[in-house]
Structure 1
Amino acid sequence: MKNFQGKGQRPTAPCKRCGAVALLCRSHAINDAFFKGIFRENSGKAHHLAIGAEKPVTTSESGWDYLLCEACEAHLNNNLDRWGHRWFKDAQDKIARDGWRGKFEIDPTRMARYVASVMWRASVSKAGAYEGFITNPTLRGQLKAVMDDQESPLEDFSVAINLLYDSEGQFSASALRRIILSPISWIKRGGQIDRFVISMTVEGFLVVASYPKFPWRNRLSSGFLNAQKSYIFMRPSDIRKTAPFPDLLEDVMRQLAG
């Protein structure tokens, strides 16, 4: 139970990561730096999509909750969040400078940990932006294990990253960067194994993770991280054909036009 010292003050409660009873920080699942960049460029607004809402909402709310003690908040910010934020921005800068090439250098272990850390925070957060996140103790435990695993986070966890584009040309690359899809999850049933599949967008990139990991045939496709390779081959992913976007585009376009 959280103990609030007064209105507007940080609560004292067990940290979601280490369990220590401490003064908790305002923790964001998606790096606050992504939102700040969008807010600066778009009059303080982001096109923040949360599954379960009747329509997407244009908001300045970045989605936070009191989750972590100061030590754990600093650990994730310094070791994963800043690195992840820089990688996605550098990738977009490279595309703007050199055009689309498809191949990008990457630290697959660190990226897997970064993605898992964002998704784990969404799974334990009570912020309204993550209401569409289906979870259970097994998934939360696995995401936390991947987040903290510096050796083999991809052993039973797969991650694919691909660039979003609009085949009809209504959404520019800069507009797609302003659309933030909060981490959502669903259960993919098939064969003898049910998988949790988790999607989110970061800086115009679609990130999809799975636990247990997708079969090896799937992981041969473009965009999947390979623990043995220091690069990734991404492919463009059409927002018109990528769930859940087709059902949301009309509202988003209306907001962009307004």
Structure 2
Amino acid sequence: MSCKLCGGDDALQKSHIIPRSYFKGLKNGNGQLISVTCDATTTPKKENSDPKEKLLCRSCEQFLSDNYEKYGTRLFKSSRCVKKTRNYIEFNGFKYTEYYLFLVSILWRASLSSLEEFSSVDLQDKFEKILASCLRNKSIKLSASLKLDHFIRISVLRVVDTQSGVDDDVIRSVLLHFGAEHGNTAEDGMVYYFMISGFLICYLFKVESDIHEARTKRIGGQLLNRSQIKVPKVELSNLKQVHDAFKIVYEKAQSHIL
């Protein structure tokens, strides 16, 4: 098998789809996490919960780490250049392209993965290669007038609960693996999303009717190419899929002892 990023034939490493540091933080010194499947029958179980598989050579693993993961995984953990208000969290000195491509790298690996946890993500070979090219070149430019973020808008929301009393430590300790939502029509596009450390990451795939709309249209919480960003706080009850997942986790926690 060749490396999915550079195409070389070097020995492949076991690549983390979601960066290892996130799982390390969730485990907080423990060896395992509790895995809950959002269905009516599967019993919660303790497991390593650190999904990885052979995708990249050692050089490309290091490339992604040095150019994207070191910044991406540190951004929301640092207290430097951060201002917290009732409605949003403000980050200063934001590196847009670096963070955008960090999130793209996670989605790209999820699409490549054969693991069950990421089966909902399927970008097809042609688009996977476009993303790989952007990652290798450290650029979101597709041509002189088109950029990747004209077609994939990424939003980041901080999930909170001031209404039903879910503790913020609980919210930050839950990892929701990738889900997908298809619009009713092709014009609605589709969304992939996952949640980690209390932040809901959403990728909206949509082709606009003209280049002006592609450049100017915005979605809630969308990352913008600015040195200062404001991540909105959104109530858990206003996010149906996330709220339903938390409800299932709570119900299964009440009926099973681990």
Match of 2:144 in 1: none
Cα distance 1:218–1:243, how it changes in 2: closer, same or farther (>3 A)? farther
Is the contact made by 2:5 and 2:136 (CA closer than 8 Å) also made in structure 1?
A: no
Which sits farther off after the overlay, 76-85 or 99-108? Answer: 99-108
- Counterparts of 1:1-258 in structure 2, within 5 Å, are 13-40=1-28, 43-46=30-33, 59-90=47-78, 94=82, 100=86, 101-105=88-92, 106-152=94-140, 153-190=148-185, 193=187, 195-212=189-206, 219-227=217-225, 229-254=226-251, 258=257
Question: Are residues 14 and 221 of structure 1, via their aligned partners in 2, closer, same or farther at CA, if it must alter by over 3 Å?
Answer: closer
1:139 Cα deviation (Å)?
3.8
Q: Is the deviation greater in 101-110 or in 23-32?
A: 101-110
Which 5+ residue runs of structure 2 have no aligned equivalent?
141-147
Compared with structure 1, are the counterparts of its residues 189 and 217 closer, same or farther at alpha carbon in structure 2 (3 Å cutoff)? farther
- After TM superposition, give the deviation of residue 156 of structure 1 in Å: 2.8
Divergent runs of 4+, >4 A: 47-58, 91-95, 98-101, 213-219, 254-258
User: CA 1:147 to 1:52, structure 2 compared with 1: closer, same or farther past 3 Å?
Assistant: farther
Residue deviations 1:160-187, cap 9 Å, x none?
1110112434422211111112233343
Give the superposition deviation at 1:60. 2.3
Say which SS state the counterpart of residue 10 (structure 2) adopts.
strand
Q: 1:91 to 1:199 in 2, by over 3 A?
A: farther
Name the amino acid aligned to 2:90.
K
In 2 relative to 1, CA 199–33 (structure 1 residues): closer, same or farther, beyond 3 Å? same
Deviations 1:15-41 (A, max 9, x none): 111111121111011110110111125
Q: How far has the Cα of 1:252 moved from its partner?
A: 1.4
Does the 8 A contact of 2:175 with 2:195 survive in 1?
yes
- State the alpha-carbon separation in 1 of the partners of residues 50 and 12 from structure 2: 18
* Alpha-carbon distance, 1:157 to partner: 2.2
Shift of 1:146: 4.0
Deviations 1:120-156 (A, max 9, x none): 0010011222122243234423433443453434243
- For residues 195 and 145 of structure 1, the distance between their equivalents in structure 2, rounded to whole angstroms, comes to 23
Partner Cα distance (2:45, 2:188) in 1: 32
Q: Cα deviations across residues 42-95 of structure 1 (Å, max 9, x unaligned)? A: x43435567789667653221111100111111001111121110021269957
Q: Distance in 2 between matches of 1:28 and 1:144?
A: 16
Distance 1:23 1:52, change over 3 A: farther
Q: How far apart in 2 are the matches of 1:77 and 1:22? A: 18
Alignment root-mean-square deviation, CA:
3.2
Q: 1:70 to 1:28 in 2, by over 3 A?
A: same
Note the residue ranges of structure 1 that are not aligned, 5 or more in a row. Answer: 1-12
Tell me the amino acid that sits aligned with residue 178 of structure 2.
P
Amino acid at match of 2:237: R
Supply the AA of the counterpart residue of 1:249: F
Identity %: 20
TM-score normalised to the size of structure 2?
A: 0.78
- Distance in 2, Cα, partners of 1:61 & 1:39: 9
Aligned 8 A contact 1:162 1:235 in 2: yes
TM-score by length of 1: 0.78
